[in-house]
Amino acid sequence: MEVIIVDTYDDMSYECYKVVEHLVLNNRNASINTTTGATYDGMFEYLVEAINGYKLDISNTVFSNLDEYISPRDAKFSVYTYMHNKFYNLIKMKPLEIHLIDGSVSKDRIQDEIDRYSKILENNPRDLQILGLGTNAHLGANEPGTAFHQDIFVANSHQSTIESTISYHNLEAEEAPSQMITMGYKEIMEAKTILVAASGKRKAQAVYDMFHADINPETPASILRTHPNVICILDKEAASLLGELK
């Protein structure tokens, strides 16, 4: 793993932006699968600025997303809402393709939606997979215990994940979503390059575990140590337990 440790959240965001910029400048047909969440708010701001300032041409880039809540599409916490409010509605240039999982389908159509998205992923091998880390080191919505061969599925969120969602989106406990359709490790690990970023003290233990725990499903992010091309960008606080890697 290539590890970059920077001082602040803003430095981390800029380094993440640079990874995307490098890919798009060198491969105008890039396929990028991204996550959402507080970790990447700053990166999306840098991306919007670059695209609207004509520094980055994404007209041939394909964007897709890692996961989506089982919820109405326009719920304030949905991945659909995040991606539109923080990226797609703000950029002047449209990407070649945008793919999002639809978590609003009725229960009896969830398998169809999973099949539809699997085909999209098959047709769009990812050059870059962007990942955040749960406080329990989960990836996407693959919580501890999910088998490493898992492919796209409906996952139940752990309590710590539900609490993070409540706090990030300022939700009442009863409106918090508890299930997501998420890409599994199978599709995540197919990407040529994986970017994983983390910021703040609340991620320090998960970051430590990503590097030092045994590689097994109890620590989802440990699987990243088996991928040949991972870039890990951390701010000082998230890296604070790493000691020897500094």
237: annotated active-site residue:
no
35 contacts: CB under 8 Å, gap ≥ 6: 65, 66, 67, 130, 131, 132, 140
With residue 208 as reference, give the H or E element that holds it: helix 204-212
Which residue among 35, 136, 146, 193 contacts ligand GLP (CB under 6 A)? 35
* 67 touches ligand GLP by CB under 6 A: yes
* 132 touches ligand GLP by CB under 6 A: yes
216: annotated active-site residue:
no
> How, if at all, do strands 67-69 and 179-182 pair?
antiparallel
* Rounded CA separation 37/192 (Å): 22
* 39 touches ligand GLP by CB under 6 A: yes
3-state class (DSSP) for residue 20: helix
Least separation in angstroms between residue 93's CB and ligand GLP is 25
143: annotated active-site residue:
yes
Residue with tokens 């590890």: 3
Closest by Cα among 34, 108, 114, 105 to 70: 105
Binding residues for ligand GLP, total number by CB under 6 A: 15
Least separation in angstroms between residue 170's CB and ligand GLP is 13
7: annotated active-site residue:
no
* 153 touches ligand GLP by CB under 6 A: no
* 65 touches ligand GLP by CB under 6 A: no
3-state class (DSSP) for residue 182: strand
Residue 246 near residue 238 (C-beta atoms within 8 A) = no
* 210 touches ligand GLP by CB under 6 A: no
Which residue among 42, 95, 134, 177 contacts ligand GLP (CB under 6 A)? 134
Residues in contact with ligand GLP by the rule CB under 6 A: 35-39, 66-67, 132, 134, 140-141, 161, 164, 168, 180
Active-site residue set: 67, 136, 138, 143
